[in-house]
Chains A and B, each alone.
Chain A
Amino acid sequence: MEEFEVDFDAWAYDLRPGIPREGMPREQATVGRTYPPGYVDNLLQTARDSGIDMKRPALIPNTRKAHEATEFAKDAGRLLSFHRDVFRAYWEREENIGDIDILCRVGEECGIDAGGLREALLDGRYAWQVDEQIAWARAAGITGVPTFIFDERFALVGAQEYEVFRDVAGRVIRSREQVASGQEG
C-alpha cells in the first residue's frame, strides 16, 4: 500500500486442526465438502489474473512449523519475503511446507540463516507464540482467513481487491483523526 506507511505483522491461524505432522491427502481432508459449480476454476483464474500460478496441492500439510518459522523470520527482519514465499512454495510449487527441510530452504532463499532456523524449529522455541496467536484468534471469534486487523479496531475478512484495502485504511485513519480532534476539543 504505497499511500500508507504500513506496519505489517502476520499471526498464525489453525485452519484445519488435526492434520497430522506428515500432512493429509486433500481428498481425505475434504471428504464431504462440496463447492458451488465453477468455484475452484474461478478461484484459480482470479489468482492467475493476479500473477499467481495457483495449483491445488494434493497434500494438505501441517502448518505448525511454518508458523514457527514465520516467527523466526520476524526476528530476522525477513517477515514479508518469507511469508510470501511460503505461500508460493505451497500454492505454486506444491511443496510440503510442513517439512523442516523445505522451510529451511525457503528461508535461506529469503536471506535467513537456515542453520539457525532449523535449530529453532527442532527445539520449538517459538511454539508458545504460535499457541498464543491461535488462541487469540479463537477468542476474537475469527472464523475465516485471511483476516486483516487494522489498528486493532477493524477487521477485513477474505482476500479482497486493493481498492477495498485502500478504502478501509482511509476509514481507519479518518476515524483515528476524528477521535484525536475530539480529544483536543
Chain B
Amino acid sequence: MESWVVGYEGDADVERHSGAVEEASPAKPSLRIREVSDYI
C-alpha cells in the first residue's frame, strides 16, 4: 500500500513518499571569521 509521511522535522514541513530515496543535503562549507573591532 502506498503511504506518505506528513509532519514536521525541526521547523520544516515535511511531505514525502515513504518509499522515496532521499539524497543527503550537502554540508555547508565551514569558515572561521574573526572580527577585530572596537565599539566606538
Interface residues on A, range: 35 or more
Q: Which secondary structure characterizes the binding site on chain A?
A: mixed
Task: Please give me the residue from chain A that is nearest to B38 by CB atom.
Answer: A15
Question: CB distance B31 to A172 under 8 Å?
Answer: yes
CB of B37 to closest CB in A, whole Å? 4
**A80-102 contacts to B (CB < 8 Å):** 83, 86-87, 90, 97
Q: Is B35 an interface residue (CB 8 A)?
A: yes
With a cutoff of 8 Å between Cβ atoms, the chain A residues found around residue B40 in the complex are 15-16, 60-61, 63, 90
**Residue B29 at the chain A interface, CB threshold 8 Å:** yes
* Chain A residues whose CB sits within 8 angstroms of the CB of B37 once the complex forms: 10-11, 13, 145-147
Residues of A participating in the B interface, judged by any CB pair closer than 8 Å:
1, 3-16, 60-61, 63, 66-67, 83, 86-87, 90, 97, 133, 137, 142, 145-152, 169, 172-173
